[in-house]
């Protein structure tokens, strides 16, 4: 038999849900004074910020009925907002991509949503704003279970040294690379810290249970091109989607920073990372053998348009 305390907690959650849905306007028939529903805007958001998504991906991650999603996709196609392309890795499935018109349609909705939230936050002091964000992270983590029990954050003092250390240790353990690789990572990190341009460069730290479990960097390659660097995920945290999420964040930031292309350099032995890059829309454009880090390797350059 369910306890009265559990019922009281359930009612508290329902009260919060009613309050917050009023705050963000999801009860309106159309969101942000647009012709789109909340669900339609969420679909546009996912397609604008992530590459290589299929209908099955959207159904699973947004909890949508396949028939409903099919009707929404068909409507978006009819309006010229998206196209279907056959998956390069599975000919039986189709990836959904926004067209130029689709991105132009979504952009003002994204801006309007951001401005609404900024207006809500501006009513609070900066410490209260951070307290609110931390509380939201805690709710997400508690309800998401182990698969969502991590967060991405900006680097703090000590993180950069940890990234160098873990790259050196992990690649020695998993691939037998020597300390030349650790020296290379140290050079990349030092350059980022000394020359960091917030407008066009960023680092993300993945944290789980209070521990750093991954990282990724976006740095400027040239005026039009961003470079993805130092993507890594600790072995114990793999399988949670952290690597893919880090790459998605890198792509999102690069688009917002005004880049039109992203490149990265990796090696053929890094099979798991290569899968993430391929699924994110990167394509191998150049490869060359080299002897580095105490091993004979094949270096690879991957790229994609933004």
Most confident of the ranges 90-94, 114-118, 157-161, 232-236:
157-161
Query: Does 172 lie in the same domain as 27?
Result: no
Query: Does 298 lie in the same domain as 155?
Result: yes
Domain of 209 in residue numbering reads as: 151-305
Q: Does 101 map to a domain?
A: yes
Query: Does 12 lie in the same domain as 93?
Result: yes
List Cβ<8 Å contacts ≥24 apart for 193-196: 193/160
CATH number at residue 225: 3.40.630.30
Kindly state the percentage of the chain with pLDDT values over 90: 52
pTM, whole model, 2 decimals? 0.55
Q: Does 141 map to a domain?
A: no
CATH number at residue 89: 1.10.10.10
pLDDT value for 129: 85
Q: Does 263 map to a domain?
A: yes
- Count of CB atoms within 10 A of residue 208's CB? 19
Q: Does 70 map to a domain?
A: yes
Least confident of 28-37, 117-126, 244-253: 28-37
Number of domains present in the structure of the chain: 2
- Which value, in Å, is the radius of gyration of the alpha carbons in the chain? 21
- Count of CB atoms within 10 A of residue 259's CB? 22
Query: Does 292 lie in the same domain as 217?
Result: yes
Query: Does 182 lie in the same domain as 295?
Result: yes
Q: Does 135 map to a domain?
A: no
């Amino acid at each position: 038999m369910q306890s009265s305390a559990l019922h009281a907690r359930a009612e508290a959650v329902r009260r919060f849900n009613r309050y917050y849905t009023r705050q963000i306007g999801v009860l309106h028939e159309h969101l942000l004074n647009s012709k789109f529903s909340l669900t339609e805007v969420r679909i546009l958001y996912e397609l604008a910020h992530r590459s290589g998504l299929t209908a099955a991906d959207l159904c699973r991650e947004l909890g949508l009925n396949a028939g409903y999603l099919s009707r929404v996709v068909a409507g978006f196609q009819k309006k010229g907002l998206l196209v279907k392309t056959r998956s390069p890795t599975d000919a039986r499935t189709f990836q959904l991509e926004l067209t130029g018109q689709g991105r132009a349609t979504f952009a003002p909705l994204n801006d309007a949503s951001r401005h609404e939230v900024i207006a809500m936050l501006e009513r609070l002091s900066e410490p209260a704003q951070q307290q609110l964000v931390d509380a939201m992270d805690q709710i997400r983590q508690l309800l998401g279970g182990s698969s969502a029990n991590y967060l991405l954050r900006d680097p703090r003092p000590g993180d950069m040294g940890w990234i160098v250390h873990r790259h050196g240790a992990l690649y020695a353990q998993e691939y037998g690379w020597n300390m030349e690789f650790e020296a290379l990572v140290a050079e990349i990190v030092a350059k980022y810290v000394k020359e960091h341009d917030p407008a066009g460069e960023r680092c993300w730290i993945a944290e789980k249970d209070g521990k750093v479990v991954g990282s990724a960097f976006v740095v400027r390659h040239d005026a039009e091109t961003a470079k993805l660097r130092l993507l890594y995920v600790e072995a114990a945290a793999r399988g949670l989607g952290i690597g893919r999420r880090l790459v998605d964040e890198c792509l999102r930031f690069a688009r917002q920073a005004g880049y039109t292309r992203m490149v990265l350099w990796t090696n053929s032995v890094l099979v798991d990372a290569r899968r993430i890059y391929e699924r994110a829309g990167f394509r191998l454009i150049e490869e060359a053998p080299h002897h580095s880090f105490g091993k004979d390797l094949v270096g690879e350059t991957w790229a994609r348009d933004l």
